Amino acid sequence: MYKDNFLIIWVVVVGLTVVMFEADAQSKAADFTLRFKNTANGNSLVLLDSTYKNTFGESYQVTKLKYYISNIHLTGKQSNYKSKEVFLLNAAGSDSATFQLKPGIYTELRFMLGVDSILNCSGAQDGALDPLNGMFWTWNSGYVYFKMEGYSTSSTADLQRIEHHIGGYRGINKADRQIELTLKEPIVIKDGDTKAIFIQVDLDKYWQGKSDIKIAENALIMFPGELAKKSADNFSGMFSIISIK
Amino acid sequence: MLKLKVIISFLLFAAVSLFIIAAGKKDRDDIYKTTPLEFKIPKGWPKPTVDFFKKNKLTEEGFLLGKKIFYDSRLSKDGEVSCAGCHQPFGAFATFDHDLSHGVSNSFTTRNAPALMNLAWMIDFHWDGGVNHLEIQPLGPLTAPNEMGITLDSALMILKADSAYYRMFNNAFGNPAITSQRMLKALAQFTGSLITSNSKYDRVMNGLDTFSNFEKKGYVHFKNNCASCHKEPLFTDNSFRNNGMLLNRFKDIGRQRITALSSDSLKFKVPSLRNIQLTFPYMHDGSIFSVPQVIDHYIAKTNAPQIGLDSVLRKPIVLNKLQKNELIYFLYTLTDTVFTKNKRFAPDGPVYFKH
């Protein structure tokens, strides 16, 4: 019994070694990073201490900014990259999503701001989706895709709070949004490269884009529905490429 | 470059081989092994709509871990409230004789604690169906300020402070890491195993017993008036309906809170009627105290329908005193003492319940 297992494992190891060499001979994947730079009023976002103004002249501070990026998709000439991996970006934590990309020339970059519907209703998850990250609603299940909290003198809420918890995976209340970024020039990945795309996430565009989000009217957005969808409609305008290095 | 790769590969190869040989020599017993549990579907019951145990394999070790967590009152702000504090085994896992339940620091829930049973056949959880999966349900009570009132972080810290948990997580999952996912999966193994299918009704359906004349007549009243929502054999069709309950002092709008649709106003999940004899008081806010009063509620509501009342209840229910009693006798055949007295579901030691 034990001998049989040993033989099988031996064969697998030999097989894997061969496959490794084959794959190796072709190309070596590169470490590829999407690095997100949150900005407000043209400056890098500083939590808590800085005061910003939105286009409606409402001033605000941000104490918390977290969002999910997933389903990253790069379309290339030789090969495509498509992954269901979910990354949690946090202004007070990780600012990047790193993954392996095969050498080639890529012309389109797309991802989702949000979490796949199915992952919203498949039970206890771990990693980026661990409820410990504070991005899961307990009374109306589902992930908060985008969470911004802070204060504003325009807020009518208790303690002049702003709490925007944007999410929703069911039917008409879906709040995940596709973000498509225009690449001025293709991304060229060579053997063993490490490359990063710097992406601006502009809060100015969050308040005004397809919809107007005035703090005076919407200090608290806490559950899926019309308001959350209006906010989500502004997501795509917030993202743009700064540089590729 | 290639030379280096060849060398590395050979070293790797050698290392793996050595590892395999070493592992083979070790005593087989200390390799992680769980005891699989079979999820038995009672005779004549449908298959669950969602297979909660597909990606969370039921094992004896996982079940026992889940049970320990369920009865552990340290997992609360004041150290006094466990899941079982509100879901009491002697009350068929509802809060015995309470309209609302006690949370930490003299707080109260705003809804009646449902009896935990046959959860594996449910699709949505809570009275408004806001919770979409059995595994993540405990996040609600653990963190709600009027239930257990702690953060998920501190819950994990409490588990990590007890060496017994390391052993049990190790037994259930192969290494002692205590994570939220594992805690939740273990809890779901316990709660999902709370199956009640040994009532007199079940024995009669399986040809092992017979209804009395009273019960038999009550069964007919039940099929005529109640069975379309309280569908056999689970005694719920898992839908959300307005059965005539009014807006209460907590302004609880039910399903509408989740869907934001005004058409869902005052709709609540149809509860199972199994063990109804033990789970008084009734309805989402525990505002109806006895089964006879529930029947009177249905008679009154169907004879004077308000806006929003479910269409099924728009046909007047007519039952005289005797017939009401017959219906009650039938409903009491749904009591399953094999379930409530099942040692497997009971705590291992004495447990304190706050009242």
Are A140 and B130 in contact (CB < 8 Å)?
yes
Max Cα–Cα distance, chain B, nearest Å: 94
Q: Using pLDDT thresholds of 50, 70 and 90, give the confidence band for residue B260.
A: confident
In a domain, A193, yes or no: yes
Q: How confident is the model at residue B164, as a pLDDT?
A: 96
Mean of the per-residue pLDDT values of chain A: 91
Are A123 and B257 in contact (CB < 8 Å)?
no
Tokens 């004899």, residue?
A: B277
Strand partners, A36: A199
In a domain, A156, yes or no: yes
Measure CB to CB from residue A124 to each of B5, B17, B181 and give the nearest one.
B181
Q: How confident is the model at residue B280, as a pLDDT?
A: 95
In a domain, A21, yes or no: no
If one counts every other C-beta atom within 10 angstroms of the C-beta of residue A200, the result is: 17
In a domain, A22, yes or no: no
A192 torsion bin: left (phi>0), alpha (psi -120 to 50), beta (else):
left
Q: How confident is the model at residue B19, as a pLDDT?
A: 57
Q: How confident is the model at residue A34, as a pLDDT?
A: 97
Is the predicted pLDDT of residue B304 greater than 60, yes or no?
A: yes
Structural domains in chain A (count): 1
Q: How confident is the model at residue A150, as a pLDDT?
A: 98
Q: How confident is the model at residue B28, as a pLDDT?
A: 47
Max Cα–Cα distance, chain A, nearest Å: 76
Q: Are B190 and B70 in contact (CB under 8 A)?
A: yes
Is the predicted pLDDT of residue B10 greater than 90, yes or no?
A: no
Can you spell out the DSSP letters for A15-76?
HHHHHHHHHHHH---EEEEEEEEEEETTEE--TTT--EE-TTS-EEEEEEEEEEEEEEEEEE
Is the predicted pLDDT of residue A183 greater than 60, yes or no?
A: yes
Can you spell out the DSSP letters for B223-245?
HHHTTTTS-TTTT--S-EE--SP
What SS3 state is found at A201? strand
d(CA B258, CA A139): 9
Q: How confident is the model at residue A23, as a pLDDT?
A: 46
Closest CA in chain A for residue B154: A132
- Within chain B, residue ranges assigned H as helices are 2-25, 60-70, 83-86, 139-143, 152-160, 163-173, 180-191, 200-205, 213-225, 256-259, 291-303, 321-332, 337-340
d(CA B67, CA B71): 6
> B-chain residues within 8 Å CB-CB of A138?
131, 136, 139-140, 143-144
Q: How confident is the model at residue B355, as a pLDDT?
A: 54
Q: pLDDT tens-digit profile of B17-32? A: 555 555 544 444 456 7
Q: pLDDT tens-digit profile of B34-92? A: 999 999 999 999 999 999 999 999 999 999 999 999 999 999 999 999 999 999 999 99
Q: How confident is the model at residue A78, as a pLDDT?
A: 82
B54: its two tokens: 């597909």
Measure CB to CB from residue B185 to each of A120, A124, A173 and give the nearest one.
A124
> B-chain residues within 8 Å CB-CB of A140?
130, 257-258
Q: Which structural domain, as residue segments, surrounds residue A178?
A: 28-244
- As assigned by CATH, the class of the B200-338 domain is mainly alpha
* Of B228, B277, B269, the residue nearest B245 (C-alpha): B269
The mean per-residue pLDDT over the stretch B130-158 comes to: 96
- The CA distance from A221 to the nearest CA of chain B, in Å, is 14
Q: Which amino acid is at B351?
A: V
Q: Using pLDDT thresholds of 50, 70 and 90, give the confidence band for residue A79.
A: confident
∠ Cα B202 B334 B136 (to 5°): 95
The mean per-residue pLDDT over the stretch A150-162 comes to: 97
d(CA B162, CA B158): 7
In a domain, A3, yes or no: no
Measure CB to CB from residue B152 to each of A17, A132, A225 and give the nearest one.
A132
Higher-scoring residue by pLDDT: B27, A85: A85
Of A77-86, A126-135, B239-248, B324-333, where does mean pLDDT reach its minimum? A77-86
- Within chain A, residue ranges assigned H as helices are 2-26, 117-120, 203-207, 226-232, 235-238
The mean per-residue pLDDT over the stretch B128-157 comes to: 96
Mean of the per-residue pLDDT values of chain B: 92
Q: How confident is the model at residue A29, as a pLDDT?
A: 84
Closest CA in chain A for residue B184: A124
Q: How confident is the model at residue A14, as a pLDDT?
A: 56
> B-chain residues within 8 Å CB-CB of A142?
132
Of A175-184, B12-21, B238-247, B305-314, where does mean pLDDT reach its minimum? B12-21
d(CA A152, CA A159): 9
Domain with CATH 1.10.760.10 in chain B: 60-195, 200-338
Are B17 and A123 in contact (CB < 8 Å)?
no
Q: Using pLDDT thresholds of 50, 70 and 90, give the confidence band for residue A24.
A: very low
CATH topology classification for B60-195: Cytochrome Bc1 Complex; Chain D, domain 2 (1.10.760)
In a domain, A14, yes or no: no
CB pairs under 8 A between A and B: 85
Q: How confident is the model at residue B70, as a pLDDT?
A: 98
In a domain, A19, yes or no: no
What SS3 state is found at B77? coil
Are B144 and A138 in contact (CB < 8 Å)?
yes
Are A21 and B130 in contact (CB < 8 Å)?
no
B93 torsion bin: left (phi>0), alpha (psi -120 to 50), beta (else):
left
Measure CB to CB from residue A138 to each of B12, B143, B180 and give the nearest one.
B143
Q: How confident is the model at residue B310, as a pLDDT?
A: 98
> A-chain residues within 8 Å CB-CB of B136?
123-124, 131, 136, 138, 141
Candidates A139, A173, A227, partner chain B, best to mutate (most B CBs within 10 A): A139
Is the predicted pLDDT of residue B6 greater than 60, yes or no?
A: no
Provide φ and ψ at A98, rounded to 5°: -115, 135
Are B184 and A122 in contact (CB < 8 Å)?
no
The mean per-residue pLDDT over the stretch A83-97 comes to: 97
Q: How confident is the model at residue A28, as a pLDDT?
A: 78
Q: How confident is the model at residue A4, as a pLDDT?
A: 58
Candidates B9, B132, B169, B240, partner chain A, best to mutate (most A CBs within 10 A): B132
Q: Are A167 and A116 in contact (CB under 8 A)?
A: no
The mean per-residue pLDDT over the stretch A193-212 comes to: 96
Higher-scoring residue by pLDDT: B9, A155: A155
- The percentage of residues in chain B with a pLDDT greater than 90, rounded to a whole number, is 85
Residue A194: its H or E element: strand A194-202
Is the predicted pLDDT of residue B353 greater than 90, yes or no?
A: no
In a domain, A87, yes or no: yes
Q: How confident is the model at residue A55, as a pLDDT?
A: 96
What SS3 state is found at B183? helix
